[in-house]
Amino acid sequence: MSEFNLNEMSLRDLQELKKKIDAAVTSSEARKLHEARSELEAKAKEFGFTLAELVSADVKSKKTRKPSTPKWRHRDDHNITWSGRGRKPMWFDHAELIANEE
């Protein structure tokens, strides 16, 4: 690899060198990605699958939670609810204080 004295290069030369380096890095990453994908496709084919089948099988196996049902409603505005999950809302704490005072 040849030596560069960056301090002696002009701004224009440095900018051109940076463009070439960025292009080389992008090209190298693309080659690595292509190689990895090819290897994975070949391995999947050994087992009788396509890479897309293996990837989509993982996505389908994830379970999603259904939205929880509200257990408490705001005393004044019934559109405001809390399911009991997560952080307790401030209006709930306020309602507890009022209930304890009564």
| pTM, entire model | 0.47
What's the pLDDT tens digit per position in 3-45? 778 899 999 999 999 999 999 999 999 999 999 999 999 999 9
- Distances in whole angstroms, Cα of residue 32 to Cα of each of 19, 26, 42, 82: 20, 10, 15, 49
Q: Where are the domains of the chain?
A: 6-61, 72-101
With 80 as the cut, is the pLDDT of residue 1 above it? Answer: no
Strands (E), the chain: 72-73, 81-82
